């Protein structure tokens, strides 16, 4: 989610690799398709976490864009929890 425009429109940035001269995606950077702002992943996430904390302290509801299943992001929380259990992460 873009910290600037609050849209679910961040995509991995693509640059030309100087050695292979091919387009490669950067894991550490994203670009908002709506406002065209570039973000370092960690910085954008930190800003979103800060904003959510400030809104919670002020007594405001969580913005819909940050809720599961909102704005085209269908997420089945129970199914994801089941997937984690299937991976045998707890059997150590």
Question: Residues 48-80: pLDDT tens digits?
Answer: 999 999 999 999 999 999 887 755 454 444 444
pLDDT for residue 32:
96
Q: Which is it for the CA torsion 67, 72, 77, 83, positive or negative?
A: negative
Report how far Cα 29 is from the mean position of its chain's Cα atoms: 11
Poorest-pLDDT segment among 19-28, 41-50, 81-90: 81-90
Distances (CA, A) of 14 to 10, 21, 49: 12, 12, 25
> DSSP letters of the chain?
--TTT--S-EEEEEEE-TTT-SEEEEEEEEEETTT--EEEHHHHHHHHHHHHHHHHHTTPPPPGGGSTT-TT----HHHHHHHHHHTTTT--
pLDDT for residue 68:
78
Q: Is residue 67 part of a domain?
A: yes
pLDDT for residue 28:
93
Given a cut of 50, whether residue 15 has pLDDT beyond it is: yes
Over residues 10-37, the mean pLDDT reads: 94
| Structural domain boundaries, residue 61 | 10-86
pLDDT for residue 75:
46
Q: Is residue 34 part of a domain?
A: yes
- How many independent structural domains does the chain possess? 1
């Amino acid at each position: 989610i873009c910290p600037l425009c609050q849209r679910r429109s961040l995509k991995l940035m693509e640059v030309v690799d100087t050695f292979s001269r091919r387009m490669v995606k950067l894991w550490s950077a994203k670009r908002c398709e709506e406002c065209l702002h570039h973000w370092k992943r960690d910085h954008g996430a930190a800003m979103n976490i800060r904003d959510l904390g400030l809104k919670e302290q002020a007594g405001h509801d969580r913005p819909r864009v940050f809720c599961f299943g909102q704005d085209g992001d269908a997420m089945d929380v129970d199914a994801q929890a089941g997937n984690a259990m299937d991976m045998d992460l707890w059997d150590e």
